[in-house]
Amino acid sequence: MSTVIYAVLFSFLLSTITSLFLIPLFKKLNLGQSIKNGIPISHKKKAGTPTFGGIIFIFSSIITMLFMIKNYNKELLLVISSLIAFGLIGFIDDTLKKIHKKNEGLTSKGKMILLLFVSSIFAIYSYYNPSIGSIIMFPFTKKLLDLRILYIPFIIFYYVSTTNALNLTDGLDGLATSITLLIITFFTFLSFGMGHYTLSISCGCIAGALLGFLRYNCYPAKIIMGDTGSLALGGAIATIAMILKNPFIVIIVGGIYVIEALSSLIQIVFFKLFGKRIFKMAPIHHSFELHGWHETKIVSVFSIITTILCLIGFLSI
| Selection from 287, 312, 91 nearest residue 172 by Cα | 287
Q: Report whether 277 contacts 271 (CB < 8 A).
A: yes
How many angstroms from the chain centroid is the CA of residue 188? 15
**DSSP conformation class of 138:** -
Q: Residue 238, Cβ neighbours under 10 Å: how many?
A: 25
Q: What is the pLDDT of residue 142?
A: 82
Give the annotated binding-site residues for Mg(2+).
167, 227
pLDDT in tens, 142-163: 899 999 999 999 999 999 999 9
Q: Known binding site: residues?
A: 167, 227
Q: Tell me the pTM.
A: 0.94
Per-residue pLDDT, 249: 97
Per-residue pLDDT at 59: 98
List, for the chain, all residue ranges whose pLDDT scores fall below the cut of 50: none
Q: Domain boundaries in the chain?
A: 2-248
Backbone φ and ψ of 138, nearest 5° = -110, 125
